[in-house]
Structure 1
Amino acid sequence: MAVTETMLIVTVIVSPLAIEGQSATHSEYTREYPQNSMFQCTEQAEHITKQHGINHTVVAVCVPADKNEPK
Structure 2
Amino acid sequence: MSEPLLEGAACSIATGNLEDSTRRVRDRAYFLWEKAGRPCGREHEFWARASLEIEGESRPTEDPDRIVAR
TM range (shorter): 0.3 to 0.5
Q: Report the TM-score, using the length of structure 1 for normalisation.
A: 0.32
- Structure number with the bigger relative contact order (C-alpha 8 A, sep ≥ 6) is 1
More strand by share: 1
Larger CA Rg, structure 1 vs 2: 2
